[in-house]
A = this chain, B = another copy of it.
Amino acid sequence: MKSVLLLSGGLDSTTLLYDLLSTGDEVLALSIFYGQKHQKEISAAKEIATHARVKHIIKEISGIFGESALTSDSLEVPDGHYTDLSMKQTVVPNRNMIFLSIALSLAISEKFDRVAYAAHAGDHTIYPDCRPEFVEAMKNVFPLSDWFKVTLYAPYVNLSKKEICKKGLALGAPLDLTWSCYKGGEAHCGKCGTCVERKEAFLEIIDPTIYLA
């Protein structure tokens, strides 16, 4: 099949990239710069796409979103666990629907069969647009948008981050090239929600990440 993959540069989408390639898919990787402070994930996505030898497109939509700690200079990225109340500041309203709709537009233009994205079980706690019911509703709307039918493929929606990490390592995905930290510093801060989750996922697995804390 031919898949447009939303490649953030993180663990999940990188694993999905290698998963798709392992089944013989032709992959067109798409990264979206939305004004996130952690632009490093875009550079990581670029490196990963080069490593995987797939075509990589970056689209920019900065200025689209309202206030979020991930995009606004006046809000600091909170430290802590994803289950902490403070972590809600990192929600970027409706980000996934916007990303998916841009990926769908690209798939229609390029005549690709499906859009692949790596929403996973761990995200549900605070990100409503990673829940299976959201993904199911998006699956229904996808083929209605154009006469050329594109499907939505989200195979990790019930997998934990740890399961994805294991899968990524088994597939030989270059997880050391991936970027998670919301702060986008020199190395992973080790304290923000996504770093905490990354560390937990790698527990009992060899973690290739250099953390500051």
A residues at B contact (CB < 8 Å): 59-61, 63-67, 91, 93-98, 100-102, 104-106, 108-110, 128-129, 131, 133-134, 137-138, 140-141, 144-147
Known interface pairs A66-B105, A105-B66; A145-B96 also in contact (CB < 8 Å): yes
Tell me whether A131 and B144 are in contact (CB under 8 A).
yes
| Residue pair A63, B59 in contact (C-beta under 8 Å) | yes
A94–B67 touching, CB < 8 Å: no
Q: Is the interface of A mostly helix, strand, loop or mixed?
A: helix
**Cβ contacts under 8 Å, A60 to chain B:** 63
Known A98-B102, A101-B97; contact A109-B61, beta-carbon cutoff 8 A? no
Taking CB as reference atom, which chain B residue is nearest A96? Answer: B145
Which residues of B are found within 8 Å of A131, using beta-carbon distances? 144
A54 to chain B, nearest CB (A): 18
Q: What would 17 A/B residue contacts be, using CB atoms closer than 8 Å?
A: A61-B64, A64-B105, A65-B109, A66-B105, A67-B109, A93-B108, A94-B101, A97-B101, A97-B105, A97-B141, A98-B105, A128-B144, A128-B146, A137-B137, A137-B141, A140-B140, A140-B141
Q: Which residues of B contact A97 (CB under 8 A)?
A: 97, 101, 104-105, 141, 145
- Which residues of chain B have C-beta atoms less than 8 A from A137's C-beta? 137, 140-141, 144
Interchain CA distance A91-B137 in the complex, whole Å: 24
